[in-house]
Structure 1
Amino acid sequence: MDKNSNVTTQKTEDTVKKGIAYKWTALFNVALASLMGTVNGSIILISLPAIFTGIQINPMAPDAFQYLLWILMGYGLVTATLLLSIGRLADIYGRVKLFRLGFLIFTIGSILLYLTPGTGNKGALELIIFRLIQAVGGAFTMANGAAIITDVFPTSERGKALGINMVAIMSGQFIGLLLGGILATYNWRYVFLVNVPFALLGTVLSYRNMKEISFRAPKTSIDVLGNLLFIGGLTSLLVGVTYGLMPYEHNGITDAMGWSSPLVMSTLGIGIVALAVFPFAESKAKNPMFRVEFFKIRAFAYANLANFTAAIARGGIMFMLILLLQGIWLPLHGYRFEDTPLWAGIYMLPMTLGFIIMGPLSGILSDKYGPRWIATSGMVIVTLVFIGLALLPYNFDYWQLGILIFFMGIGNGMFSSPNSSSIMNSVPAEDRGVASGMMSTLINSASTLSMAIFFTIVIVGIQGALPGAIHESFANLGSGPIVQNLADQLASLPPTNALFSAFLGYNPMGSTLEAMDPNVVSAIPQSVVDTLKSTYWFPQTLQQAFMPALRASFVLGAILSAIAALLSAMRGERYVHETHVSTEKT
């Protein structure tokens, strides 16, 4: 392995000397794929109201919540399960070859989404299936991006290059929010059509300009058992997590979540057992897809553990901040419910700016001084920001939130680039594909798990407190059997519907009144109807139930970030595999 590493290092150095510009060509293509992927993710967040309207799905219908979760989480589920296998195949057959294929598959998925023919439940299922196809393409580019950058950039510039790629990732999130807000006002299909030029450009450029310079691992037999255990186990686990967030009906009773469902318990059990057996099977496999021995490398092990913990902390919190803005703060400040998705994206801009500033800068500094203390300091900052968020009142002044999320962007920017560079530098050159796949798999799995954890905290909190908050708010609206009956009906509103409506920019009170018998609604005093349909009654009521649960999620985020900081500090000083091997040889 030492000999292969030296050969690969010399091969990369010779390529760079022959064509200095190629490393920037490769970085441009990888950054374009990163930009495309994050635009695709955030544009969906902001455009869901228009998409559901376009395919004629009532967001307050009982089965609508499952479509929301699958559209949001299905993409991450597919990428998480495929990244590891793709990374290993890329080491054998070529990273650029599979990277190009990813662009092509993503293009096909985007076109299919634009052409979605069905409406109603059929249309929703078609959207989910086409998003899964898109996710396969995204997995091919995601699994190979960091490895390609590491191949073409020398050790002294890898942090900077990975930092520039991180800027593309964060810029894509903001661009997607703006494009989604603008395009959705014209036609929901444009939300998917806008991906096509990015994907076509990436496909053409990657086939035309990118070349395979990486040292390939020897062709070996496919680790069938490892693939079955990992893909089957992780899929089963994430499916269980997804359905655990959905309402569960049994014996005439509807639970707010499905954690007690036999389907959920069985899929979770199968997933946990399969993933528990997986590392033991890999340790015995002749050609394992998951390189367990990499975790003997201190820099690799602790950087990945820190990455996994940090991803759990930040993944679901993004949704929590959007819920806070869309469901409470923006309506209370006079924004129409239907306008809140776009403005929530705009008000999240300070986080993006912080990341864009610190992402490349921290990469440059880590190239010079090493990643350990820069990455660790970043997670300490994130920990302090979570504590600050937990102390915010529900009707805060925006500058307070703006400063906090700006420093959250700074902290995550300080952590991400050096940490990724640390992971990729620590492995042999011929194994960078599987290392990149392992890193991305842990991040994507953690993000999906994060959504489940934080949604569960909030749903449980709302389930217990929202009925009482509604009755308390109704006490100020008047008395009488009609008003009391209306209060009882609204108090029975499932907490998932309340969150769903806030996330999509709907006032659930208006939807609930429209679904009621017109004769009953006509008997309600007009002043009560006007109050319920206002921009302040529902947010003011929701915050009573939502804020305690939200603060608990922020506290959990602080704890996880502190653990990530500790793990980051434990990685030791800078470790570069090529340098280590060279030193050993001499």
Structure 2
Amino acid sequence: MSALDGSIVIIALPAIFRGIDLDPLAPHNIGFLLWMIMGYRLVQAVAVTTLGRLGDIYGRVRIYNAGFAVFTIASILLSFDPFHASGAAVWLIAWRLLQALGGSMLTGNSAAILTDAFPADRRGFALGLNQVAALAGQLTGLVLGGLLAAWDWRAVFWVNVPIGLFFTVWAYRKLRDTGERHPGRIDWWGNGLFALGLGAILIAITMGLQPYGGHTMGWTSPAVILLLSVGVASLAGFVGVEMRVAEPMVDLDLFRIRAFSAGNIAALCASLAQGGLQFVLIIWLQGIWLPLHGYDYADTPLWDGIFLLPLTIGFFISGPLTGALSDRFGARVFATIGMVLFGSSFVGLLLLPIVFPYWAFALLIALNGIGTGMFAAPNTASIMGSVPARYRGVASGMRATFQNSGTALSIGVFFSLIIVGISERLPATMSVGLQQQGVPADIATRVADLPPVTSLFSAMLGSNPIEQLLRGTGILDTLDPAQQQHLTGGEFFPQLLSGPFHQGLVIVFVASIALSLCAATASALRGPRSADGDHGVRRGVTKDLVQVPDRTV
């Protein structure tokens, strides 16, 4: 449910914007679009470690159960938006942040609850199913969002309500806390600096994607530079605080555990490589491939989800299977091979033409899903099994933080790289294309100066911006019917966008290949398989080990 809501809104954004009557092409509305996407990721990235720590102190099941209730309440409030246009967008963004907090209470403790409940020889299978549930929700949201949005945009929030109500009651009645509980104090300074640092960086990314002055993006904006500086300084201060306080939010000595540090580095690199992929594929399909194959813009969100199903199927096949096998043979081989296959899929996607044969695309995204499944469950089992029992809540939160932070950063980086690629060629290409259809040169140049990020999000929202832009100039009615039909049809804008978009796509996929290799290397260096919690480190962690001579480091 938590993962599903991170993606279901992405597909439903065209219906949401139409439903609240918000113009996605207006420059000042780009911020609303970005915050609907990034706000959820921001809260999840910032909150999960703290909520995992609270689970260690007050009980993991207690925090997990409360997450169901918070998530359900936020879903109800989201579906009753009383405002219009920008006011409605602010309402949705605000309650999405609360919804993300509830989701963080779930994801920050779920892996720790399963690690407590299952013995070491079954843990990989259990965590594999948990990973499958998470990614299945994320990918199923792409299909479900298209189906529900075709009915009513509010339905993408209604779908959570009966599930949330049932499982809120079920969790309070059935779940029992079998893990250790260690009362302690909250590291408020550490929590504050971490939230400020990561939050400032992710806010800066959302601002950096928007035009500033005469620039296509806002990375030179003083506000962005200030936020990035504050973010880096706060995270540096966070590390200093954690090294000195008696009960840190994040015990940095955990990173002395080889399997823990290598697994989290691999997870971060994998998330950076994959997090923005979903958005790239949505733009590729909804903005270019589907319109060029005769699909109406209004139907592209639904078909986008359907054509991405091989990605889900690949993960469904490999996730539980490799999770179970890793219980017997260890995580290193499966996780490393998974990242190699994952990177190989990007090589294949890099070689595809922009108007590809679907069978080749389907095979490559299925390979991507298989590689992700082979990596996710064994890597999670390795991370969770490497720490002593009392640290499982914070370890679960830290794992989720690395994953969510990587995803959020990846979205910003992928968008930035594609915008750079588009901005170099799209204005000139659009101006020439418009003039060839009878649009006067001065008007064609003015329309072609549309910020590249607006063109990108128009493609993502499955809309053709040309008609709206030309109608605003009054020139469209002066053209002959054949020219009007061509300019406002389903092929003109995708054909203009395809070349510049492919240039950005090459940059993105090369970056993903490099990150996949980094993840595979980190995974291979995690060390041999070891018994549960066998990795001793100094300070707080060492004293938690069972003092048996052949197991104590």
Which TM class, normalised by the smaller chain length? over 0.9
Q: Is the 8 A contact 2:143 2:304 kept in 1?
A: no
Corresponding position: 1:484 with 2:441: yes
Query: Which amino acid in structure 1 is aligned with residue 279 of structure 2?
Result: F
Q: Does structure 1 residue 311 correspond to structure 2 residue 271?
A: yes
User: What residue is the counterpart of 1:512 in the other structure?
Assistant: 469
Q: Give the conservation status (yes or no) of the 8 Å contact 2:292–2:491.
A: yes
1:231 and 2:195 are equivalent in the alignment: yes
Q: Deviations over 1:456-489 (max 9, x none)?
A: 00111111110121134346435xxx43234213
CA distance in 2, matches of 1:267, 1:97: 35
Q: Does the alignment pair 1:241 with 2:172?
A: no
Q: Does 1:343 align with 2:297?
A: no
Structure 1 residue 202: deviation in Å?
A: 1.6
- Is the Cα–Cα contact under 8 Å of residues 77 and 238 in structure 1 kept in the other structure? yes
Q: Which moved more, 1:183-192 or 1:566-575?
A: 183-192
Stretch deviating more after TM superposition (490-499 or 418-427) = 490-499
Q: What is the aligned counterpart of 1:575 among 530, 533, 537?
A: 530
Q: Pick from 386, 390, 401: which aligns with 1:430?
A: 390
Is this contact kept in 2: 1:299–1:575, CA < 8 A?
no
CA contact (8 A) 2:113 2:177 kept: no
Q: Which amino acid aligns with 2:198?
A: L
1:203-225: CA deviation from partner (whole Å, max 9, x where unpaired)? 011101011111112x2222121
- SS at the partner of 2:362? helix
Letter paired with 2:486 = T
- Tell me if 1:454 matches 2:414: yes
Q: SS where residue 184 of structure 1 aligns?
A: helix
SS class of match (2:243): helix
The residue that corresponds to 1:469 in the other structure is 429
- Deviations 1:327-364 (CA, angstroms, capped at 9, x unpaired): 11111111111211111111110010000000000101
Deviation (angstroms), 1:186: 2.1
Q: Distance in 2 between matches of 1:347 and 1:585?
A: 56
Partners of 2:151 and 2:510 in 1: how far apart?
40
Aligned letter for 2:521?
A: L
Checking the alignment, whether the CA contact within 8 Å between 2:208 and 2:218 is kept in structure 1 is yes
> For residue 539 of structure 1, what is the amino acid of its counterpart?
P
SS of aligned partner of 1:185: helix
Identity rate, percent: 46
Which one-letter code corresponds to 2:158 in the other structure?
Answer: L
1:60-91 CA-partner distances (Å, limit 9, x unpaired): 11112111110011011011111111111110
SS in 1 for 2:354: coil
CA RMSD of superposed structures (Å): 1.4
Does the 8 A contact of 1:341 with 1:503 survive in 2?
no
Which among 85, 94, 109 is matched to residue 120 of structure 1? 85
Equivalent position amino acid for 1:68 in 2 = L
Q: Does 1:370 align with 2:327?
A: no
1:531 aligns with 2:486: yes
Tell me which residue corresponds to 1:33. Answer: none
Q: Does 1:99 align with 2:58?
A: no
User: For the Cα contact (< 8 Å) 1:422–1:575, is it kept in 2?
Assistant: no
Aligned residue type for 2:83: G
Residues 120, 532 of structure 2: 8 Å contact kept: no
SS of the counterpart of 1:543?
helix
Residue 411 of structure 2: SS of its match in structure 1?
helix
2:516 maps to: 561
Matched, 1:187 2:152: yes
Work out the CA distance in 1 between the residues paired with 2:36 and 2:326: 37
Cα offsets for 1:110-166 (capped at 9, x unmatched): 010011111111110000001001011011111000000100011001110111112
What's the secondary structure of 1:63's corresponding residue? helix
TM-score (normalizing by structure 1): 0.90
The offset of 1:579, in angstroms, is 5.5
Judged with a 3 Å threshold, the aligned counterparts in structure 2 of structure 1 residues 418 and 399 are, in CA distance, closer, same or farther, namely same
Contact 2:264–2:383 under 8 Å retained in 1:
yes
Equivalent residue number for residue 20 of structure 2: 55
- Secondary structure of 1:211's match? coil
**How far apart, CA to CA, are the structure 1 residues paired with 2:185 and 2:294?**
62
Q: Offset of 1:190 from its aligned partner?
A: 1.5
Amino acid at match of 1:103: F
* Code of the aligned partner of 1:229: L
Matched position secondary structure for 1:284: coil
1:20 equivalent in structure 2: none
Q: How many residues matched?
A: 541
Corresponding position: 1:163 with 2:128: yes
What residue in structure 1 maps to residue 538 of structure 2? none
Is the CA contact (8 Å cut-off) linking 2:42 and 2:408 kept in structure 1? Answer: yes
Residues 1:302 and 2:262 aligned together: yes
| Equivalent pair of 1:240/1:268 in contact (CA under 8 Å) | yes
Q: Secondary structure at the match of 1:396?
A: coil
Q: Is the 8 A contact 1:389 1:551 kept in 2?
A: no
1:78 — aligned with what? 43
1:281 aligns with 2:241: yes
Give the deviation of 1:263 after TM superposition: 1.1
Give runs of aligned pairs for residues 17-32 of structure 1, distance below 5 A.
none
Aligned: 1:414 with 2:369: no
| Inter-partner Cα distance in structure 2 for 1:413 and 1:539 | 33
Task: Report the residue type matching 1:510 in the other structure.
Answer: E
Cα distance in 2, alignment partners of residues 475 and 509 from structure 1:
13
- 425 and 279 in structure 1: CA distance in 2 versus 1, 3 angstrom threshold: same
Shift of 1:44: 0.4
Unaligned runs of 5+ in 2: 536-544
The answer to whether the Cα contact below 8 Å between 2:140 and 2:312 also exists between their aligned partners in 1 is no
Unaligned runs of 5+ in 1: 1-35
The answer as to whether partners of 1:96 and 1:148 remain within 8 angstroms in 2 is yes
CA distance in 2: counterparts of 1:487 and 1:388, whole angstroms: 37
8 Å CA contact 2:79–2:155 kept in 1: the answer is: yes
The Cα of 1:582 is off from its aligned counterpart by 5.3
Secondary structure of 1:246 counterpart:
coil
Mapped partners of 1:535, 1:230: distance in 2? 46
Which residue type is aligned with residue 237 of structure 1? I
In structure 2, what is the Cα distance between the partners aligned to 1:582 and 1:373? 28
- Pick the aligned partner of 1:443 from 403, 424, 428: 403
Amino acid at match of 2:467: G
1:359 is aligned to 319
- Cα separation, 2, equivalents of 1:169 and 1:84: 18
C-alpha separation between the residues in 2 aligned to 1:85 and 1:264?
Answer: 26
Q: 1:98 and 1:65 mapped to 2: Cα distance?
A: 35
- Give, in angstroms, the shift of residue 175 of structure 1: 3.0
Distance in 1 separating the partners of 2:155 and 2:110: 27
Instruction: Give the distance between the partners of 1:187 and 1:436, measured in 2 at CA.
Output: 36
Question: 1:9 maps to what in 2?
Answer: none
Q: Which residue of structure 2 lines up, in the alignment, with residue 502 of structure 1? A: 459
Question: Is the 2:435–2:444 contact (alpha carbons within 8 Å) kept by the matching residues of 1?
Answer: no
